[in-house]
Amino acid sequence: MEYSEHNRGAKLLTVVDLFAGCGGLSLGLEQAGFETVFVNELHPDAMKTFVMNRPNSPIQNTKYQVLDILKLTRKKADLTSLAAHLNKQYKGIDLVVGGPPCQGFSGIGHRRTFEVTKEDIPTNYLYREMAKVVAEIAPKAFVFENVRGLLTSRWTPEGEKGEIWKDVLKTFSRITVKVNGKTLSYQIGYELVYAKDYGVPQNRPRIVMIGIREDIPVATSSKLVGNGLLPQPTGGAPDPYDLLSDLVDPKWVPGGSTLIYPKEARSAFQKLLRDDPITGKILAKGSPISDHVYSNHSELVMKKFQYMIEHDGNIAASMKTKKFAQRLLPEKWGPGGPNITATSLPDDYVHFSQPRVLTVREWARLQTFPDWYQFNGKRTTGGRRRAGDLEVGDWTRDLPKYTQIGNAVPVLLGEAIGNHLKKILGVK
């Protein structure tokens, strides 16, 4: 489509979030000064999480929400109509972001029990739908993010290593848009980034591609991250103790929950996550806290976890099982900083001081979600239900709270990207 831009005056930058999940990327961008004006997310629980945390957002109006992106892109007239409406309403959209489902590219998500090639998984082609949306809306910039495995994935076992990424890159590189009568393409840069380099307390590698419309001047350099289109690392990832120690409740019991903060915030990071956006104050000891619910571990499991705590994460031979793969979350990171990646599995890590796995609230902190952020849906579910059953063509799946959080873009990484894009787009 073609549209004409006008001076918008002082207002928030606008973002359209596709495949938004529970909203980690959007929240980071919002903290940097963007406003989400349209959201797409297939799973109802994740969509509800996204919407309920934004009570004053335009997306409270259901016309600015869509579950299945194919319902938006299948008919070009529908997409053209939406793009025209958004561009008229906001006098041009600044940013379109998206992280199409990655279960076919992730070594974790594409489970070994599924004998299905990547070219047979419909969700593996949704990057093309994102490209269609970018081409119609013609934003000043777009952000595509996904798992590291996308860089080396093949469509079939006999295919060429990295062929899927080549297709993704080609698809976005070919986008052209019309603005003020001119046909424009996008300057593109990409990089494999590590969340720990942007203050996030986990490693979490992600491939991030950024496109800047060619009428936006950018000083790029191959020596910079993503050719200058991605932010330089900031560091500052907190140790687990500085992240979680204020949530340690000495009265916890398996299967129980902690309903109020058991301690005052001590570290700067704890204060950051306990900042109340309504009052602007740090939530004090005794204030309500949500999603701090404990798994109902058996005595045998707790004994195993306690042994790990007392023996630097090691496990006695008599306690080992074939499926045992849990690691002890340390109080302090070793050399090199965070060396973990929070995924969708709540029992991946054992707490550094209590014989239990992390709660949803603690899991959310690993992704730098603030404590006021709420999550909708089941707490957890069976492993196979988290990915559907690809062998029989069942693409539906549960998306419990742990999985929503594990799938999210870390909030602080999103904020770093947002602050960098503001500079590129000429906003102070």
- Please give the domain boundaries of the chain with CATH numbers for all domains: 2-237+409-424 (3.40.50.150), 239-332+346-382 (3.90.120)
pLDDT, tens digit, for every residue of 368-391? 999 999 999 999 875 554 454 444
Q: CA 170 → CA 17, 166, 173, 303, distances in Å?
A: 21, 6, 5, 53
Q: What is the DSSP string of 61-86?
A: SGGGEES-HHHHHSSHHHHHHHHHHH
Contact 291, 267 (CB under 8 A): no
At 355, which amino acid appears?
Answer: P
* Mean pLDDT of the chain, nearest integer: 90
pLDDT, tens digit, for every residue of 246-292? 999 999 999 999 999 999 999 999 999 999 999 999 999 999 999 99
Contact 219, 229 (CB under 8 A): no
- Residue recorded with tokens 């594409």: 110
pLDDT at 7: 43
pLDDT at 112: 41
N- to C-terminal Cα distance for the chain?
A: 29
Q: CA 88 → CA 12, 19, 141, 373, distances in Å?
A: 16, 23, 18, 31
Mean per-residue pLDDT, 63-90:
96
Contacts 24+ apart (CB under 8 A), 107-116: 107/149, 108/343, 108/344, 109/147, 109/344, 109/387, 110/387, 111/383, 111/384, 111/387, 113/384, 113/391, 114/387, 114/390, 114/391, 115/391, 116/390, 116/391
- Catalytic residue numbers read 102
Distance CA 147, CA 145 (A): 7
Angle between helices 126-137 and 163-173 (to 10 degrees): 10
Distance CA 413, CA 198 (A): 6
Q: Please say whether the dihedral angle defined by the alpha carbons of residues 63, 64, 66 and 70, taken in this order, is positive or negative.
A: positive
pLDDT at 161: 94
pLDDT at 11: 65
Distance CA 261, CA 399 (A): 27
Task: Give yes or no for residue 125 having a pLDDT over 90.
Answer: no
Is pTM beyond 0.95? Reply is no
| Beta strands, E only, 274-334 | 327-328
- How many percent of the chain have pLDDT more than 90? 79
